[in-house]
């Protein structure tokens, strides 16, 4: 009977349906549910007996694939497959599947929450009040402000709708989306550098460069509008985090709200831990029961399709 190695601790956390899909097809988990991710050494060990992998942020390299001689499919319990060597999988005829759209609304809502909190200093006020203070912290209204959205896919478009409801002006940069589609969602299509120079707040919704080069390096962060807010609920590799901390410290940037980091969990000595006007959360934008159920079911169903010799519905390219 085929076995499925599940490495992500959030798989099927809020619904039994994804587990049932696997079990009904006789592809039960090789590793029972645990509340921690699987360490790399154990991943290599467990992979030897796996016909399928369902993974989270684990780096799935050629080494992992070669340690799994029975492997027939790799499923990302999420959307972005940048932590999986898709080219290596393709060379080994191993399909990589994911769950596009399953967490779009969850991430878009959370992103707007980050923007609101950073703009109005909600967490700073809570911390002060909980410690016995009673500050009156001022922050600008969003109405009439300009939001720049970098990456105009499902999440970026949902975010645009929320921003419109608050009366914000919208700029969008996405070289893979037609200008007419951007305009149809009420945003002005612009080049990245123009967006950074004009936006009062910038939100990132694009995959990182495979080379590891940050999209927003020191020069681009410094070119942002003075006092601007940066929101990143996508990937940590998009931002030069040390440069961001420096520009927050100098006062050039107004605030930053981040849910994704280049190293996770965030190291104790990370410069953003001590940077002012910063909101840091633990890569949890997609953590809603609704998204968790949809994500788990989508990848479980595609795993079963591949193990049955069928084409998956959501194969990464």
Q: Which residues are known catalytic residues?
A: 235, 264, 283
Q: 101, 95, 19, 99: which is closest to 305 by C-alpha?
A: 95
> 77-82 long-range contacts, Cβ below 8 Å, gap at least 24?
77/8, 77/10, 77/11, 77/295, 77/296, 77/299, 78/102, 78/103, 78/286, 78/295, 79/103, 79/104, 80/207, 80/234, 80/235, 81/316, 82/207, 82/208, 82/210, 82/235, 82/237
Preceding omega of 59 cis (within 30 degrees of 0):
no
Rounded CA gap, 156 and 204, in Å?
A: 8
Q: What is the DSSP string of 195-228?
A: HHHH-SEEEE-SPPPTT---SB-HHHHHTSPTT-
């Amino acid at each position: 009977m085929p076995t499925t190695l599940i490495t992500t601790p959030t798989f099927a956390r809020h619904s039994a349906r994804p587990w049932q899909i696997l079990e009904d097809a006789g592809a039960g988990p090789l590793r029972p549910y645990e509340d921690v991710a699987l360490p790399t050494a154990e991943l290599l060990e467990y992979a030897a007996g796996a016909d399928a992998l369902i993974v989270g942020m684990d780096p799935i390299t050629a080494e992992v694939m070669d340690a799994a001689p029975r492997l027939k499919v790799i499923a990302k319990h999420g959307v972005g497959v940048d932590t999986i060597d898709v080219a290596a999988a393709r060379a080994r005829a191993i399909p990589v599947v994911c769950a596009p759209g399953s967490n779009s609304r969850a991430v878009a809502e959370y992103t707007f929450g980050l923007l609101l909190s950073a703009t109005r200093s909600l967490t700073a006020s809570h911390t002060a009040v909980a410690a016995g203070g009673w500050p009156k912290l001022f922050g600008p209204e969003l109405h009439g402000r300009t939001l720049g959205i970098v990456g105009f896919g499902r999440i970026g478009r949902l975010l645009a709708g929320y921003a419109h409801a608050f009366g914000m002006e919208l700029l969008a940069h996405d070289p893979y989306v037609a200008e007419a589609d951007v305009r149809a969602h009420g945003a002005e299509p612009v080049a990245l550098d123009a967006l950074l120079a004009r936006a009062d707040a910038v939100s990132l919704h694009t995959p990182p460069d495979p080379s590891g080069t940050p999209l927003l390096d020191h020069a681009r962060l410094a070119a942002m509008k003075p006092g601007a807010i940066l929101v990143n609920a996508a990937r940590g590799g998009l931002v030069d985090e040390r440069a961001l901390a420096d520009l927050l410290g100098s006062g050039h940037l107004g605030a930053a709200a981040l849910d994704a980091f280049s190293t996770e969990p965030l190291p104790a000595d990370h410069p953003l831990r001590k940077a002012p006007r910063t909101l840091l959360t633990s890569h949890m934008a997609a953590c809603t029961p609704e998204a968790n159920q949809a994500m788990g079911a989508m990848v479980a169903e595609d795993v079963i399709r591949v193990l049955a010799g069928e084409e998956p519905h959501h194969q990464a390219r």
